[in-house]
Each structure stands twice: as structure tokens, then as C-alpha cells.
Amino acid sequence: MDRITLRACGKLNLSLDIVGVREDGYHLMDMVMQSVSVFDRVTVEKAESLDPGLFPYGEQDIAFRAAQAFFAAAGIPGGARVRVEKRIPSEAGMAGGSADGAAVLVALDRLYGTGMGEKLVPIGEKVGADVPFCLTGGTARVEGIGERVTPLPFFDRGCYLVVKPPFGISTPAAFRAFDRSDAPRRPDTAGMIAAMARGDIPALEALSENVLEAAAARPEIGEIRRALREAGAAFSRMTGSGSAVFGLFETDKAAAAARDAVERYGETFLCKPVPAGIWVETCI
């Protein structure tokens, strides 16, 4: 096998809480995350060397850093050429870069026959905070700085309508703003997980929260959430540090019907929950 193409799925934060700060300044998280069907298509080929010129964004590319981390951990020589067809919006809080990094780790593990499996997760930790979740995917509670991923029963209910406004939100700036802010409304994460297990979508609006939303200080976020709710969403939140906002609808038809009501706010995506973060399309 010399080439493999994978789907690297984006994620939504159904809930996001900050529960502390480590001595090194990293924030400790408690999140409920869901993989969704918006994906990047990532093609990885064997190459003679590990040249940043063979990656879409050079040395700063998370895909390149993932490849570096893989070969360092595997202790083998090798190289890769990576192509990415982007579909996950950038600066959205949907883990587009982390999903690509996770896909590269999975691809190289298969191409070079290293059989690392779950050992890819600690490698992914060094590459990006969302990479461990993207490797696992599905529905999960994610804690620490993103390294502790506890799979939950697959929450396959409903259809998501995602709105990406025409601006991004800096993740470091959002966390700095949170540190300066008053105590926010906090989610009931355990209660939310119990409601998800019951399939109780309407209960999620009261139980969930994204504590970074207020820190983002963009009134458009609240406007989009209200518009989604008025259009029939049972539950709406900003994902990650933003700027994308999603609404969860009980049916695919209801989500599609709501699209016209929110298109003025930015790019829109209809997506379904999926049970894994990385899917293999072709191997050659």
C-alpha cells in the first residue's frame, strides 16, 4: 500500500466547561463532543523524505507536525506527501486542523504497518488538543487539556444545522477573555450525559453551556443562536471557541427547512452525527 484517502470528520462541542488551570497555564476542560458528517478529504502517500514542501501549509501545518511526531514515536525512517480537500470551515471551533492531523496519524500507521492503534492517542496529544478526540470520534466526554477521552453511547439523534459567520475568533484570545470574566453560567455535564442517554434532546438546552461564548464578546453569536431556536432548533450552542454556531433539530426535514432563516448570518452546513472521527475511503 502506497496511498490512502480518508475522511477526517469535524466535531461539535455539545457542552464546554473550564474547570481549572494547570501550573503551565493550560486550561482544564470538561466537554461533551460529537463527530459530525462535515469532513475534510485527506490523501496521504509514501514519500522518500519528510519535506514540509509536500504538505499543504508547510512547516506550520498540523498535518506536517503529526507526521513528524509519528516518525519520531515509531522510530523508523520514512516520508509522506499530503493533500487536503477542505470542507470543514476554518476558525470555526470544529477541529478542522486537528481532524487532518489525526487522519495523517491513522494513514501513516497503515501505510507503514506500525500497528500502533491506541498508541496514536498520546502522539496526537503532542500535536493538538483536539487530536485525541478526533482519533476516537463518535460521542465522548473529553477532559484535561483534551487528552482524556471517555467514549459515550453514540448520540445519533437529530440533525445539526451549523452556521459559520464571516469572522473567526482567536482561541488564545477567547481563553484570555474567559480568565478576565466574571463567573459564567456552568453546564450540568453529568445531567446532560444522562439526558443524551435518554434521547431527550429538548432537555439539552437547559443542561448544556459553552462558557467561552460570553467571553467571545460577539453579539452575532447570540443572534444566530436565537435565530436557530426561533427556526425550530431544540438546542443551540457555539462550538469550541467559535465562531460556528449549531442548532440541533429533531428531524432532517426540520433542519433543512430552517436553513433559509439563518443563511444571512454566514455559510451553512447540514450534518449528521457520525460514530467515528476518521473513515478510510480508498487504499492503493
CB 272: neighbour CB atoms within 10 A? 14
Q: What is the rounded distance in angstroms from the CA atom of residue 76 to the CA atom of residue 250? A: 49
β partners of residue 30: 17, 143
Joined together, the cell numbers standing for residue 209 give 453551556
What whole-number distance in Å separates Cα of residue 163 and Cα of residue 277? 21
Q: What is the mean pLDDT of the chain?
A: 96
**3-state secondary structure at position 181:** coil
pLDDT digits (tens, 9 = 90+) for 25-57: 999 999 999 999 999 999 999 999 999 999 998
Binding-site residues: 89-99
Domain ranges, ordered by start, for the chain: 3-153+274-283, 159-271
3-state secondary structure at position 164 = strand
Sequence-ordered strand ranges (E) for the chain? 3-21, 27-47, 79-85, 139-144, 148-151, 159-164, 235-238, 245-249, 267-271, 278-283
Predicted confidence at residue 51, as pLDDT, reads: 95
Measured distance CA(47)–CA(71) in Å, rounded: 13
100, 130, 156, 253: the catalytic one is 130
C-alpha radius of gyration, the chain, whole number = 19
Burial 203-239 (b: 16+ CB within 10 A, else e): bbbebbbbbbbbbbebebbeebbebbeebbbbbbbbb
The mean pLDDT of 253-276, rounded to a whole number, is 98
| Residue range 76-118, pLDDT digits in tens | 999 999 999 999 999 999 999 999 999 999 999 999 999 999 9
Q: Which residues contact 75 (CB under 8 A, 6 or more apart)?
A: none
More confident residue, 72 or 185: 72
Q: Is the pLDDT of residue 245 over 90?
A: yes
3-153+274-283 CATH pick, 3.40.50.720, 3.90.960.10, 3.30.230.10, 3.10.180.10: 3.30.230.10
**Residue numbering of the annotated binding site for ATP:** 89-99
Residues 6+ apart with CB under 8 A from 32: 13, 14, 15, 139, 140, 141, 142, 152, 189, 192, 193, 196, 208
Report whether CATH 3.60.21.10 matches the domain 159-271. no
Q: Residue 173 corresponds to which cell in the numbers above?
A: 484570545
Question: Taking Cα atoms as reference points, which of 69, 71, 151 lies closest to residue 111?
Answer: 71
Cβ contacts of residue 221 below 8 Å, gap of 6+? 165, 213, 238, 242, 243, 245
Residue 27: which of 237, 185, 244, 211 has the closest Cα? 211
Please confirm, yes or no, whether 188 is among the known catalytic residues.
no
For the record, the C-alpha cell of 38 comes out as 462535515
Which of 79-83, 216-220, 270-274 is least confident?
Answer: 216-220
Q: Known catalytic residue: 24?
A: no
pTM as predicted: 0.96
Catalytic residue among 2, 11, 17, 200: 11
